[in-house]
Amino acid sequence: MSLAWKKSAIAMIAAGMLVGSMAACSTERDSGTDAGAGDGDDETFVGIAMPTKSLERWNRDGSHLDGLLKDAGYETSLQYADNKVDQQITQLENMINQGADILVIAPIDDTALAPTLQQAADADITVIAYDRLLLGTPNVDYYATFDNYGVGKMQGEFIVEALDLENAAGPFNLEPFAGSPDDNNAKFFFAGAWDVLSEHLDSGKLVVPSGKAPSSNDDWQSIGVQGWSSETAQSEMENRLNSFYASGTQVDVVLSPNDSLALGIAQALAGNGYAPGDEYPVLTGQDADKANVLNMIAGKQSMSVWKDTRALGDQVAKMIDQIVAGETVEVNDEETYDNGEKTVPTYLLQPQVITPDNVDVLVESEFYKAGDLGL
Ligand code: BGC
């Protein structure tokens, strides 16, 4: 139940009216009696639960959204959970006990929060899944994210173009990686890329010397890197290079779903003697983290998919204003994100490919200062 519902219900009971069939619609809320906290005249409390500070993007996500909400007059609590599920559960329980009206959650483990979300529902708290979907629970009201399948598709299409797979004979040696097995986004990233690449695997233009090629999209977790860890990706890449490339075979392309894995993979490549230049493998990524943009400029990563976290925060802040004002919450996808219990109304934003040739986009949009990138 949304804040608007809660407040209008209280008003109706106070007026001695019988609260009857108040069936909530997924995207449209009853017009509340409240003017909305966006004006700063209300004590709406928003809890923001982010997964970890160890990855650059979540720091930016958290501080941007928190700043926006504070400026609009909301009371907020911004918490990071060091990628520890128990810590995130405790933080959410505290927010619920402190009287949160709305929770914005980027989960660490997408299925682990169902009991906590039941507590949130019992306290009439509206829940927005942020960037990552919450699975196996009816108690998630909205989802805001980037087109996750589109991210993977961009990575796959980049590889097809970079290796000229439509024309070149190959075979090219590919090593694929996938994201954390407990992150629903990772499934979409992998599917987007694999749907583009599989015809070239079938034709034999792409081969996977390590054999670590999922037999289908559903098998993506077999190559998943727990917690999106750079260190795990590095040691996995080192193992593959030592075991399957010892005879001087060259790796031509590495499908990395994001920048934290790409950092570890680039380290492993460097340790194995791969230097920037024509022989350096095509290496994908996502997030346009600063270290990775620097790697791109230095020739150690080929691309990244940029998701402007400010736009995501802006959209979520807008959702919150709409929820509080009892307005229709704007969504643009009501089909894709089935969490096992319901299809969650979603707002999807569009990502953008960044390569060494267009990093200035990041400066022009003031995502980075030129000096940050040594430009
Ligand atoms: C996000 C990515 C991020 C990854 C690791 C995913 O859920 O969508 O942007 O790179 O988590 O934090």
Q: Which ligand 1 atom sits nearest the alpha carbon of residue 146?
A: 8
CA 180 – ligand 1 centroid, Å: 9
Q: Quick check: pTM over 0.85?
A: yes
38 confidence band (pLDDT: 50, 70, 90): very low
Question: What would be the CATH architecture of the domain defined by 45-140+308-349?
Answer: 3-Layer(aba) Sandwich (3.40)
Mean predicted confidence (pLDDT) in 245-268: 96
pLDDT digits (tens, 9 = 90+) for 318-337: 999 999 999 999 999 999 99
**Is pLDDT at 37 greater than 70 in this prediction?**
no
CB-ligand 1 contact for 292 (6 Å cutoff): no
CA 68 – ligand 1 centroid, Å: 22
**Is pLDDT at 22 greater than 90 in this prediction?**
no
pLDDT digits (tens, 9 = 90+) for 71-84: 999 999 999 999 99
Q: Determine the pLDDT at residue 39.
A: 41
Q: Which ligand 1 atom sits nearest the alpha carbon of residue 106?
A: 7
Q: Whose CA is nearest to atom 6 of ligand 1?
A: 185
DSSP 27: S
DSSP 233: H
| Tokens at 153, concatenated | 């598709």
| Tokens at 225, concatenated | 């890197």
CB-ligand 1 contact for 308 (6 Å cutoff): no
42 confidence band (pLDDT: 50, 70, 90): low
CA 363 – ligand 1 centroid, Å: 22
Q: In terms of Cα–Cα distance, which of 238, 243, 251 is closest to 282?
A: 251
**Is pLDDT at 40 greater than 80 in this prediction?**
no
Q: Which ligand 1 atom sits nearest the alpha carbon of residue 189?
A: 8
Q: How far is CA 299 from the centre of its chain?
A: 25
**Is pLDDT at 204 greater than 70 in this prediction?**
yes
In DSSP notation, 39-102 reads GS-S--EEEEEES-SSSHHHHHHHHHHHHHHHHTT-EEEEEE-TT-HHHHHHHHHHHHHTT-SE
CB-ligand 1 contact for 286 (6 Å cutoff): yes
Cβ atoms of 325 and 32 within 8 Å: the answer is: yes
Q: Which ligand 1 atom sits nearest the alpha carbon of residue 287?
A: 9
Q: What percent of the chain has pLDDT over 90?
A: 86
356 confidence band (pLDDT: 50, 70, 90): very high
CA 10 – ligand 1 centroid, Å: 39
For the chain, what are the domain ranges? 4-12+148-306, 45-140+308-349
CB-ligand 1 contact for 110 (6 Å cutoff): no
Q: Determine the pLDDT at residue 247.
A: 85
**Is pLDDT at 200 greater than 70 in this prediction?**
yes
Q: Which ligand 1 atom sits nearest the alpha carbon of residue 307?
A: 9
12 confidence band (pLDDT: 50, 70, 90): very low
Same fold, 4-12+148-306 and 45-140+308-349: yes
CB-ligand 1 contact for 228 (6 Å cutoff): yes
Question: What would be the CATH architecture of the domain defined by 4-12+148-306?
Answer: 3-Layer(aba) Sandwich (3.40)
